[in-house]
Amino acid sequence: MSTTEIERQWTTRLRKRVAGKLPPEKLLPDTQPSYVSSWIYVFGVTTLSAMIVVIVTGCVLALRGPQWWHGSSFGHFVNSLHLWSVEIFFFAMVVHLWGKFFMGAWRGGRSLTWMTGVITFLASVATAFTGYASQSNFDSQWITTQAKDGINATGAGSFFNVLNLGQMLMWHIVLLPLAAVVLTALHVLLVRIKGVVPPYEENAGEAQ
Amino acid sequence: MSTKAFRPDVDAPTYKGGHSPYDIIKEGTIAIVIVSVLTLLLSVVFGSPDDAAITIKTWSNKAPVDFASTALSELNGTSGTAGYGAPYNTASDGQKLGPFPLAKWAGATIPVNSVQDFVIDPLKSLPNQPALQSGLATWTKAPQSTRDTWVANYTKAASNMKFVNGQVIVKASDAGPVPIFINDLTQMARTGALDQALITGNGYYTTDYTKPLLFLADGSYIGNLAQKQHLLGEQWGMMNETGSYPGQAWLWLYTFWYQVPPFSTSLADNADVDVWGMMMLLSVLLLLLPFIPGLRALPRKLKVYRLIWREHYRG
């Protein structure tokens, strides 16, 4: 096989492209610009950490099936861990979003980073909603019978039946978490590729 | 390097300052530990709610008249489900986004016939009830106009419905088998058999609770319980959960629109689709914020960034 042929391979081209866009020092940096020195930056990594705790506690709940936590005190405790990690996740995510808004974090070619963040937020809202719909208790009875009217009114209810426990559970534990995790990974990679947005400068010179 | 005009809300200045040490793995590890400990503490202190699901058996035993009245509304077509429209039936066009009946266009893909699914079919599953079997046979043979007359006559008298000694009492004349239907369905519900009939209507294995939930939601019992738990629409509805828990606080903006005019007043009958339309629009605006002149300039003009980067500006 000639060198030219190897250079033309999809695998070779993809590896070079990835290595060019995201060299190891960008993926796992050991320094950061000095302006990154505010508490607001903590909320991105907090969101990510809470997401990991949400997934781990959700996996523990999945081990014994959807009814387990109703009849087991340990199961109920794991459900509490799942609930509170979700609350922390959303709190951190919303603060992170507001922080990034006030920084104008889309500047300098970072609009895709902003957009993946917003879509991750919306996917997370849907994931949490389907979790509430899958609880198989009074809350899920009430929440689904109320929510159906809004979703049905858009036409989406013809395909996304919130009263169908099986459908909601599948969306909650498979489809939406998968989407949220993929979107989060994409978002984090974009942050690493593009870096953290520099501060505004009233007398700025050249564009990046 | 480009020499094009600098757009402060689109472009970022080239950073020429210094760098500080940054241990991303250490930061991530510490964050996971702190979040885990905080989660543990909150769970130990506050726990989580888990009020048991109510059943049609509970409902019909605690509020038999409400149950029997709801059963009648399924039969006479006045229940929420009977007149819902898509996705359950074609009884109405449903709500419209402007001139567009989105739900109607999507179609009745989850068919529910409130007479057949909630009353007649469950009653057919009851064994050894000669009077009921005879009534069902009479109902089946009767033309629709006769059925309508029976149901209308029973409905007129049902305003004085009572539940005495385990029986539904309605003094109706020329109501055909309707009194038997309502009474026997109530008896069936009180034993728990109606729960099973509605849940297993699609087969032995099922995870679809559409029919029993629709039936429950047509009655007042579940709403009365929800009101006590501050869960009604005018109480910020489904973003709350039972007990004193934060619930889905992130839905506050969605729930907010239901509390204010015109969604709470002149648009109330169409509020669901209007609020959803509003939220879709706001979500798209948030998504496309980097491309919208004016909106994308807000953070620069609000100058909150000076607080975030105060050390940088001080330097």
Residue B2 resides in a domain: no
Which residue of A53, A74, A83 to mutate against B (max B Cβ within 10 Å)?
A83
Please report residues of A whose CB lies closer than 8 A to that of B302.
102
Cross-chain Cβ contact B97/A30 below 8 Å: no
Residue A35 resides in a domain: no
Tens digit of each residue's pLDDT (9 = 90 or more) over B74-104 = 999 999 999 999 999 999 999 999 999 999 9
Q: Do residue B68 and residue B140 come from a single domain? A: yes
Cross-chain Cβ contact B106/A90 below 8 Å: no
Quote the pLDDT of residue A87: 97
pTM above 0.80, yes or no: yes
Q: Is B208 helix (H, G, I), strand (E, B) or coil?
A: strand
Quote the pLDDT of residue A205: 43
Residue A99 resides in a domain: yes
Work out how many domains chain B is built from and give that number.
2
Q: Do residue B112 and residue B256 come from a single domain? A: no
Cα Rg, chain A, nearest whole Å: 21
**A-B contacts at Cβ under 8 angstroms:** 305
Q: Is B248 helix (H, G, I), strand (E, B) or coil?
A: coil
Quote the pLDDT of residue B243: 84
Q: Which parts of chain B have pLDDT scores under 50? A: none
With a CB-CB cutoff of 8 Å, which residues 70-99 of chain A face chain B? Answer: 70, 76-77, 79-85, 87-88, 90, 94, 99
Residue A4 resides in a domain: no
Nearest C-alpha neighbor of B186 from the set B204, B208, B161, B152: B161
Q: Which of A103, A129, A152 is the last residue of a domain?
A: A103
Cross-chain Cβ contact B309/A38 below 8 Å: yes
Cross-chain Cβ contact A166/B207 below 8 Å: yes
Reading chain A (208 residues) residue by residue, the pLDDT tens digits are 678 889 999 999 999 999 999 999 989 999 999 999 899 999 999 999 999 999 999 999 999 999 999 999 999 999 999 999 999 999 999 999 999 999 999 999 999 999 999 999 999 999 999 999 999 999 999 999 999 999 999 999 999 999 999 999 999 999 999 999 999 999 999 999 999 999 998 664 444 4
Residue B295 resides in a domain: no
**Facing A141 at nearest CB: one of B54, B273, B308:** B54
Cα separation, B162 vs B180, whole angstroms = 14
Q: Is A34 helix (H, G, I), strand (E, B) or coil?
A: coil
Q: Which of A52, A74, A103 is the last residue of a domain?
A: A103
Residue recorded with tokens 């599953």: B125
Tens digit of each residue's pLDDT (9 = 90 or more) over B214-236 = 999 999 999 999 998 888 877 77
Cα separation, B210 vs B75, whole angstroms = 18
Please report residues of A whose CB lies closer than 8 A to that of B84.
152
Q: What is the DSSP letter of B52?
A: P
Please report residues of A whose CB lies closer than 8 A to that of B272.
149-150, 152-153
Q: Do residue A80 and residue A156 come from a single domain? A: no
Residue B294 resides in a domain: no
| Bridge partners of residue A203, in order along the sequence | none
Residue B89 resides in a domain: yes
**Facing A90 at nearest CB: one of B17, B27, B250:** B250
**Facing A158 at nearest CB: one of B24, B47, B107:** B107
Work out how many domains chain A is built from and give that number.
2
Quote the pLDDT of residue A208: 41
Residue recorded with tokens 């809202």: A125
Which residue of B34, B248, B269, B274 to mutate against A (max A Cβ within 10 Å)?
B248
Write phi, then psi, for B14 (nearest 5 degrees): -75, 125
**DSSP letters of A144-158?**
HHHHHHHHHHTTGGG
Element (H, E) at B192: none
Q: Do residue A110 and residue A191 come from a single domain? A: yes
Residue A149 resides in a domain: yes
Quick one: B129 exposed, middle or buried, by C-beta within 10 A (0-12, 13-18, 19+)? middle
How many angstroms separate the Cα of B306 from the Cα of each of A35, A36, A95, B212?
A: 11, 13, 17, 56
Q: Do residue B191 and residue B232 come from a single domain? A: no
Domain that holds residue A117: 105-196
Q: Which of B191, B219, B247 is the last residue of a domain?
A: B219
Tens digit of each residue's pLDDT (9 = 90 or more) over B282-302 = 999 999 999 999 999 999 999
Residue recorded with tokens 């975030």: B308
Q: Do residue B98 and residue B134 come from a single domain? A: yes
Domain that holds residue B113: 56-219
**Facing B32 at nearest CB: one of A49, A156, A206:** A49
